[in-house]
């Protein structure tokens, strides 16, 4: 069976000249984010701001498996940001230049919208705020499909962002109040806009 999927992928590549989508995080297959991300200029990996997360088998809006993430104010250890993010350091797919968007389903059980940030660090300057790509998304209550357009992306210095050498990506919620925010994420994909 595995051979079939490999051959199907090769055939798809030969016919269409490109892979239509790849997974940054395949929640459906049980992939989880990293337990530590870059937090210091020396690129040491720490867990101090990592939100609580788990893979859950809950039927929500035609999907059975989700990454449940609880963003919380945290403790003295992780002030002022709290337990505010999840992501992947040194992703197995680090060249995003052949894709247009990052796409994912998210379910917001709160009664109000939640602002999240999708942040990407490139290999040449992995800790520089000016060199990273940041974008914000507003997640409405209920299930939605979110898209982050990456072709032509610029960094915070308004310069071209290097999509060929991704070092780390993460999703964060900032300005957390006393009440934790729970979001459910489906597969996170690199793909093309339809």
pLDDT tens figures, 63-107 = 889 999 999 987 766 566 788 999 999 999 999 999 999 999 999
Question: Is 14 within the bounds of a domain?
Answer: no
Question: Is 15 within the bounds of a domain?
Answer: no
Model confidence over 5-25: pLDDT tens digits? 344 444 454 445 556 899 999
pLDDT of amino acid 125: 81
Question: Is 4 within the bounds of a domain?
Answer: no
Domain count, the chain: 1
162, 122 contact by CB (below 8 A): yes
Between 118 and 175, the more confident residue is 118
Question: Is 6 within the bounds of a domain?
Answer: no
Q: What are phi and psi of 184, to 5 degrees?
A: -115, 125
**Least reliable range by pLDDT among 8-22, 27-41, 125-139, 160-174:** 8-22
Question: Is 108 within the bounds of a domain?
Answer: yes
Residue 43: pLDDT over 50: yes
154, 133 contact by CB (below 8 A): yes
Question: Is 1 within the bounds of a domain?
Answer: no
What mean pLDDT is predicted for residues 108-137? 92
Question: Is 7 within the bounds of a domain?
Answer: no
In the predicted model, what is the mean pLDDT of the chain?
87
> What pTM did the predictor assign?
0.86
DSSP codes, 146-184: EEEE-TT-B-TTSSB--TTSEEEEEEE--S--SS-EEEE
Residues in the chain: 194
Q: How far apart are CA 187 and CA 38, in angstroms?
A: 23
Where residue 62 falls among pLDDT bands split at 50, 70, 90?
confident
Residue 126: pLDDT over 80: no
pLDDT of amino acid 52: 93
CATH code of 43's domain: 2.60.120.430
pLDDT of amino acid 143: 96
Pairing of strands 45-46, 52-60: unpaired
Q: Residue 129 is part of which domain span?
A: 20-191
């Amino acid at each position: 069976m595995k051979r079939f999927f490999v051959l199907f992928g090769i055939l798809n590549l030969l016919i269409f000249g490109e892979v239509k989508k790849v997974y940054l995080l395949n929640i459906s297959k049980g992939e989880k984010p990293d337990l530590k991300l870059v937090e210091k200029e020396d690129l040491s990996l720490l867990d101090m701001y990592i939100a609580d997360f788990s893979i859950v088998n809950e039927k929500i809006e035609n999907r059975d498996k989700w990454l449940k993430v609880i963003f919380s104010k945290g403790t003295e250890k992780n002030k002022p940001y709290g337990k505010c993010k999840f992501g992947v350091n040194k992703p197995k797919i680090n060249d995003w230049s052949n894709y247009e968007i990052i796409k994912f389903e998210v379910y917001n059980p709160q009664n109000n919208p939640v602002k999240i940030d999708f942040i990407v660090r490139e290999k040449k300057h992995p800790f520089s705020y000016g060199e990273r790509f940041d974008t914000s998304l507003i997640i409405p209550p209920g299930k939605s499909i979110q898209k982050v357009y990456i072709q032509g992306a610029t960094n915070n210095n308004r310069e071209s962002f290097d999509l060929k050498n991704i070092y780390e990506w993460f999703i964060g919620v900032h300005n957390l109040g006393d009440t934790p925010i729970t979001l459910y994420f489906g597969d996170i994909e690199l793909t093309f806009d339809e």
